[in-house]
Amino acid sequence: MISAVIVFPGINRETDMMQALEATTGTKPVAVWHAETELPPVDLVVVPGGFSYGDYLRCGAIAARSPIMNDVRAKAARGLKILGVCNGFQILTEAGLLPGALIRNAGLRFVCRQVKLRVENTRTFFTNRLNQGDVVRCPIAHGEGNYVCDEETLSSLEGEGRVVFRYVEGNPNGATNDIAGIVNKTGNVIGMMPHPENMIEPLHGATDCRPLFESLLAA
C-alpha cells in the first residue's frame, strides 16, 4: 500500500502519522508539501494533525485552500481514500470533503488526554478489522474539536450509519451526539478528531488503535 501525508506550515503530527503508517503497512509514506499541485500515484492520502497556519481565521481554513487540495478534491471525487485526523478533519470540512464544522470546545479550553471511542461503523477502510461496538482508547489534543452540523446533515449522518466513531464515558469537547469521526456518502473520506497514530505500539502505553491501521491493508 502506497500512502501520502500532506505537510502544511504549522502541521506537527506528520512524522507521527508517517511512522504509524510505515510500522503497520510496511511501506514508507511519501511526504507531499502543500504547495505541490498534484499528488503522486498513491492508495491513500492522510491529512495529519497540528496547527496549520497557526489556526488563524478558522482552523483549517487556510490549509483547505492550499494548491494541493485542488488535486485532493479531484482525486477524492474519483474514489481515492482520504483520512483526516484532528486538524486534518478540520481541513477536510473546510475543503468541503466532509459535512459540518469543528468549533471551539464547549469548555473553551484545549483538551489533551486519553478518551474512549466506540466504533460505530466497521464497513469503512479504516475500521474493517474491528467489531461494531468495540471500545478503543485514543489520545486527543485539540481546542476546536466540537463537531457541529445542521439538523438535516445530522439526520443523514445518523440515518445512513456515517458516524464512524463516538465518544463514550464522557464527551471532551461538546460534539453533537458525541461524534468523534465521520465518513462521507461514498465511503472514501474519513475525518476524526482523536489521534490513533499515537496509540499503536507498547511504547505508546497501549495498542488499541493498531487495528485501525491494519484495516488500511485489509481494505
What positions carry a catalytic annotation? Answer: 86, 195, 197
Residue 150: DSSP 8-state: -
Joined together, the cell numbers standing for residue 148 give 457541529
**Whole-number Å distance between alpha carbons of 27 and 2:** 7
Query: What does the block give as the cell for 41?
Result: 500515484
Distance from C-alpha of 194 to C-alpha of 137, rounded to nearest angstrom: 10
3 state DSSP class of 128:
coil
Rounded distance, CA 184 to CA 149, Å?
Answer: 14
